[in-house]
Structure 1
Amino acid sequence: MIAVTAPNGNVGSETVRALLRAGVRPRVLTRHPEFLPQDVRERADVVAVDLRDHAAVVASLRGIQSLSWITPSPALDESDPLAYYDELAESLQGAVTSNAIGRVVFQSSVGAERRNGVGEIDGLAATEQRLDALGIDVVHLRCGLLMSNLLLAPDGLNGGTIRVLLPLDLPMPWVAPRDVAEVTAARLLSPHWSGREVQALHGPEHLTWSEVAEVLSSTLSRPIQVERVRDEATRGDLRASGLTEQRVAAIIGMSTGIRDDFIPEQRRDVTTTTPTTLRAWATQLHRSSVSAR
C-alpha cells in the first residue's frame, strides 16, 4: 500500500496521477477531499484528515508500506511557520513509528543541507533529521525552485513585474512539479534502493532571473520583467500586510539563505537533471489560460 499527502497540490496531484497510471490505487490524505477531481476520487482511497491531528494521521496510515510525504506550505496567517513544520513532522514521525512504515519519499528543498538560516526551509531540514533518526529507507528529494512558485505572485505576472530578493544574474535550478512527481512515483515503486539517500532535482538547466523573464516574455507573448528589491523593503511590505515577525523571517530567509556563497550539496548529473524546461512549462500555462477564456 502506498499513501500520498497533499494530493491537491502541484506535486501531490501529479504524484497521484503517476501512481494511477502505474496501476496503483493509492491512499490519499487531504483536508479537502471535495477538491479532488472526480476521476481521482473514484480510483483512490481518500481519507479526510488534518495532518496536524497526530492521532488521526497515525490511524489514516495503518497498513501503509510506502509513503510520499509532502508538507503543505503554511498559510500566510500562520504565526510561527517553523512550529507548524515541527508539528507536522511529529505527525509523520509518529505515523511511521506506530505503523512500521518502512519507506518514505520526502519532498524537501535545495538549501535544506544548510540545516538552519534558510527560513521555512529550516522546517524541511528538521523533518529530514527526524526521518533519518528512524532508521528506515528514506529518500529526501531536494527540489530546486518549483516553476509553479511563479504563480504565487499572480499580480506580478499579470502586472508584468516580478519582484525578487535574489541577484538577477544568479543561476538557480528550476524544476517542474510534474518532474518531481514522476521521480517520487518512481522511487515509491522501485525496489532497487534502500537506506538513506538524498536526490536533488535541478530541472534541465540553471536559469538566472533575467533569463526567466526572457522565457516568460516570449512564451506568454507579453513583457515580463524582474526587479530586485532590498531585503528591508520586502520586510517592511510583509510587516505592513500584518504578518508576524516569525512569518516575515521565514519568507525572507528562503531567499537570503541560498543567496550568498551557497553551493548545493548535490551537483548536476544524470540523477539530478529532469526534462521539463521552463519554456515548456510556461507554454502549457499559456495554453491553459487561453483555453479558459
Structure 2
Amino acid sequence: MIVITAPTSTIGRLLVDDLLEHGARLRLITRDASRLAPDVRERAEVVEGSHGDPVVIARAFEGAEAVFWLAPGDGAEPSGEAAFVDFTRPAAQAFARHGVQRVVGISALGRGTAQAERAGLVTASLAMDDLIGDSGVAYRAVVCPSFMHNLLNHVGSIKEQGKFFLMADPDLKVPTVATRDIASTAARLLLDDSWSGQGEVACLGPEDLSPKEMAQIISEVLGKEVTFVQVPGAALKERLMGFGFSEGMAQGMVEMFDAKNEGMDNAVARTAESTTPTSFRQWCEDVLKPAVDQ
C-alpha cells in the first residue's frame, strides 16, 4: 500500500495516474474527495482530512509500506517553519509507529550551499527533510528548482500585456523542471523497494535558461513578443500579502528568490540521472500555449 498526500495537487494528480497505471494499491489523503476524478475514487482508497492532522495520519498510515509526502506550504501559515516543519511533525512521528518503510518527499535544491541557511522557504523545506530523516525511515527527497508550471500564474499578463513578472535575475541561467517529470521521478522511487537510508534525487530539466531566454522561447512558441520584467523583493512581498500570504511566508518567498539569484540552484551538477526529459520549449508547446490560447 502506498499513501499519497496532496493527490489533487499539480504533482499529485500526475503521480496518482502514473502509479495506478502500474497497478499500485493507493490510499489517498485529501481534504475534499469530490476533487478526485471518479475513476480515481473507484480505484483507490480515500481518507478525507488534512495530512497535517495526527488522527488522519494514523488512519492513513495503517498498513502502509510507502508514503509520498508533499507539504502544502500554505501561504496563510505564520512562517516557513510552521508551513513545512510543524505541518510535517505528526507524520514524522507516525512513520515508525506504523511501520512505514519508505518515504518520498518533494523538496528544494540548496543543501550544502552558503545560501541555504538564509533561503526562506527553501531553508524550511530542508529542515522538513531533516525531520523526516531523523525519524529513521528510509527517505528520498526529490529536490527541485523552480517549476515551469509556475508560469501558468502569468497567463493573464502574457495574454494582455505580453509580459511575465518574476523576482529572478534576468540574466542568470538556472535549471527549471516540469511537474510531470517530478511526478515520474517520485513514481519510480515509490515503486522501487530496493533503496534504503536517506538521500536526495535532483530533478534539473535538460538545460539552464535565464528569464530573458525563457521570454524569447515563449515568444517563438506563442508567435507574439513576450518580455520578462524583474520585480523588486518589496513589491513581490506586498503583492503576496495582498493575495492572503502572512508576512512571514511572504518574506520567506523573497528570501528564497534572493538565494536563487545568488546561484543556489546552480550548485548541483547536472548528471544523466538528474536530467529530466521535458525541455522548457516542449513545456511551452504542450502546456503554456494551450493555456494562453484558451
TM-score (norm 2): 0.91
The 8 Å contact of residues 199 and 266 in structure 1, kept in 2 or not, is answered as: no
The Cα of 1:246 is off from its aligned counterpart by 0.9
Pairwise CA distance, 1:259: 1.5
Q: Could you list the per-position Cα deviations for residues 80-133 of structure 1 after superposition, in whole angstroms to 9, with x for gaps in the alignment?
A: 343122222112202213212110111111135454311212221111111121
Kept in 1, the 8 Å contact 2:152–2:291? The answer is no
Paired position in structure 1 for 2:189: 187
Q: Is the 8 A contact 2:101 2:138 kept in 1?
A: yes
| Distance (whole Å) between structure 1 residues aligned to residue 192 and residue 222 of structure 2 | 38
The 1:116/1:33 distance shift into structure 2, 3 A limit, reads: farther
User: Deviation digits for residues 112-165 of structure 1, max 9, x if unmatched?
Assistant: 545431121222111111112122211111112111111233433333221222
| Counterpart contact for 2:73–2:83, Cα < 8 Å | no
Q: Following the alignment from structure 1 to structure 2, what is the Cα–Cα distance between the partners of residues 92 and 207?
A: 37
Report the equivalent of 1:90: 89
Show the counterpart of 2:133.
132
Which has the larger displacement, 120-129 or 219-228? Answer: 219-228
Which runs of 5 or more residues in structure 1 are unaligned? Answer: none
Q: Percent identity?
A: 28
- Between Structure 1 and Structure 2, how many residues are aligned? 291
Corresponding letter in the other structure for 1:120: L
Unaligned runs of 5+ in 2: none
Q: Determine if the alignment matches structure 1 residue 63 to structure 2 residue 88.
A: no
Match of 2:253 among 251, 254, 259: 251
Query: Counterpart amino acid of 2:61?
Result: L
One-letter amino acid of the structure 2 residue matched with residue 137 of structure 1: A
User: Which position in structure 2 is the counterpart of 1:78?
Assistant: 77
Q: Name the counterpart of 2:99.
A: 100
Question: Which residue is equivalent to 2:5?
Answer: 5
Structure 1 residues 45 and 230, CA gap change in structure 2 (3 angstroms): same
User: CA contact under 8 A between 2:27 and 2:44: conserved in structure 1?
Assistant: yes
Three-state SS of the structure 1 residue aligned to 2:215 is helix
Q: Which moved more, 1:40-49 or 1:112-121?
A: 112-121
Moved more, 238-247 or 180-189: 238-247
Sort the Cα spacing of 1:240 and 1:123 in 2 relative to 1 into closer, same or farther, 3 A: same
In 2 relative to 1, CA 150–62 (structure 1 residues): closer, same or farther, beyond 3 Å?
Answer: same
Q: Does the C-alpha gap of structure 1 residues 141 and 205 become closer, same or farther in structure 2, counting only changes over 3 Å?
A: same
Q: Provide the rounded CA distance (Å) in 1 between the counterparts of 2:270 and 2:229.
A: 28
Give, in whole Å, the separation in 1 of the partners of 2:150 and 2:71: 15
> What does residue 121 of structure 2 align with?
120
Question: Does structure 1 retain, via aligned residues, the 8 Å contact 2:33–2:46?
Answer: yes
Q: Distance in 2 between matches of 1:234 and 1:154?
A: 17
Secondary structure of residue in 2 paired with 1:51? coil
Q: Deviation of residue 256 (structure 1)?
A: 0.5
Comparing 125-134 with 258-267, which one deviates more in the overlay? 258-267
- In structure 2, the residue corresponding to 1:116 is in which secondary structure? helix
Is the Cα–Cα contact under 8 Å of residues 173 and 205 in structure 1 kept in the other structure?
A: yes
Check whether the contact 2:162–2:226 (CA below 8 A) recurs between aligned residues: yes
| Contact kept in structure 1, 2:72 and 2:83, CA below 8 Å | no
Whole-angstrom CA distance in 1 between matches of 2:25 and 2:271: 32
1:221 is aligned to 2:223: yes
Q: Aligned partners of 1:197 and 1:211: how far apart in 2? A: 32
Q: Which amino acid letter does the alignment assign opposite residue 84 of structure 1?
A: A
RMSD of aligned alpha carbons: 2.1
